[in-house]
Amino acid sequence: MIRNVLLAIAATLALAACSNPTTRPVARAPDVGWAFYGGDAGGQRFSSAAQITPANVRDLAVAWTYSTGEMARHGPLKRASFEDTPTLAGGRVYICSQFDAVSALDPATGKPLWSFDPKVAPNVLYPNDYACRGVTYWRDPGVADNVRCSERVYVGTVDRRLIALDAATGAPCAGFGQAGTVDVGAGVVLERNGQMQITSPPVIVKDTLIVGSSLDDNQRVREVSGAVRAYDVRTGAPKWSFDPLASQAPGNVSGAANAWAPMSVDVTRGLVFVPTTNPSPDFFGGLRKGPDGQANSVVALDAATGRVAWSFQTTHHDVWDYDIPAQPTLGDVAYGGRVTPAVIQATKQGLIFTLARDTGAPVIPVDERPVPQGGAPGEALSPTQPFPRLPKPLGPATIRPEDAFGVGPMGRDGCRKKIAAARFDGMYTPPSTQGSIVYPFTGGGVNWGGLAFDERRQVVYVNTSNALHLVTLIPADQVAAARRAEPNVEISPQKGAPFGMRRQVMQGLFGLPCNPPPWGQLHAIDMRTGQVLWEVPLGTTRDLAPGSQLFLRHTGTPNFGGPIATGSGLVFIGAAMDDYLRAFDAANGKELWRGRLPAGGQATPMTYVWKGRQYVVIAAGGHAKSGTKRGDTVVAYALPGPLS
């Protein structure tokens, strides 16, 4: 989504922490795990671990590293993104590589205990490149310890397989599907290899295993169904499927509305919370009249049956690629002095919706506001879109030619002309043949990194990106010529629609965004009031445009990956495009520490305490769509010194 933003990548740097570690004793801490992709089943990304504090975080040093070996197996990883968030459960750290290879590691040393390679085919054109955001751990309560597959790890692969592995050995669980594998795409007819993939981990409610999928963007009107599928957790037998477009208006032509982002579960209520995407194609909706069923929605499903309990749509009749990109976060929210079990949903528009977990009704009121009209011929836009009253949008959504950013007069003038030539009437300006600005761009606001919620302090921490997309509709009979003329630009046919599309990040000299900085931020929101407590730039231009950080200060960068929060009052985050893991003071947003990574840290970190010592772990392998430095290393940091 930010192709061609980078001018150059810094030369390989030695892996090192940025501070000089001490050897003073470290107080032993109670062990704390991280058993789910999002820390807990509800995706709070919060850990009670408190050994690392604002007072001692500057002493963090590399404790261990682990290479997945993918650089050696697959070369420079040009179409791969290391988005994994490791998990710790059953006494092992589990990771998945860009190519879905799963490894179990010793939590104290990073030494590999076992590995499993599903051997996905290389060089397939996948819509979201080669990526695996995490695996799912499950302990079978009906089986004795030390029985094969009493503990399992499930991984979804880019070639649409769902695989069950014995957590102790990595061997496939023979009783699951066919020799440990279920074909999630069974019966789905694809137009091309790679059209459908799995990038996010499945979720489990009791004996039901639930998984979504990622599908092609912008390619065709008649896209395959974005159905969410459920299986028996032990046998892999199909249980149910849910199609978000089953309730759309009769006669509509479209597909997708899939759930590519991570899901959340409330085991007590027996609910799974599904973030759905937009219907196909992304930027023209004239063949799908109305609000598009339960696309672009948070959908609460009964996990046992797949029946819809409730749904809430965050974008009506989406023609901006404003799908829900992030895991719904479950927590008790004390807004206005009343505690409500809630779902907190961040969006690409930089909006935060807070919904009652039992009904989907807004906890913080939502208003339907008029938005720009005048879509392409045949288009029927929604006259309004939903906006939560609080918190405020987490970033600007207006741009004028005179606001253009650029390095020097020539850079500013070039960006000013680009902005002036495009159509922009505010957020939700419809795509046009003139070229329309989509702001926030389709990478966010918030993307798949989601948010962290400290329920005790009632504070949400979330990172956002701030850039402009120029989306231009191309008459269908001109798409082929446009692709030949601009082979390195994203031009998609939207086959079956009267228009294809061109999507470009609006950038100037040195590949820097045309809109003014900050281009990336970290925010803290008090959920008792809905007010933003603080917001600070996230990232520097050190690796975006080497040398520019000497004169470009406090810019932040676009970012992918999310934050975690800890009981001691720290927020850890990578995500930015300058190859660092950072720690911020949760109270005021002050950056307290940064550790240099061997490659891009476009992943969400995690933390755990093992045998008295707290570790912070992140996948450092870069991100294909960001263009950051590629690699295959997992890095763990800890406080040095003996435990006391």
The values of phi and psi at residue 130, to 5°, are: -85, 120
CA distances in angstroms from 570 to 223, 249, 566, 590, listed in the order given: 43, 47, 5, 10
Residue 13: other Cβ atoms inside 10 A = 13
Q: How many CB atoms lie within 10 A of CB 423?
A: 18
Tell me the torsion sign for CA atoms 413, 417, 420, 424: negative
List the catalytic residue out of 129, 166, 318, 321: 321
* Residue 409 burial (C-beta neighbours within 10 Å; 0-12, 13-18, 19+): exposed
Of 593, 495, 508, nearest to 545 by C-alpha is 508
Task: Please report where in the chains the tokens 């295993």 appear, as a residue.
Answer: 209
Distance CA 613, CA 640 (A): 9
Q: Which amino acid is at 71?
A: M
Residue 200: half-sphere exposure toward Cβ, Cα within 13 Å: 28
Print burial letters for 50-88: b (CB count within 10 Å at least 16), e (below 16): bbbebebbbbbbbbbebbbbbbeebeebebbbbbbbbbb
| C-alpha–C-alpha distance, residues 620 and 633, integer Å | 5
Strand 208-211 to 633-638 pairing: unpaired
Is 100 noted as a catalytic residue in this protein? Answer: no
CB 149 within 8 A of CB 164: yes
Closest CA to 537 of 523, 526, 552, 550: 523
* Catalytic residue ranges: 321
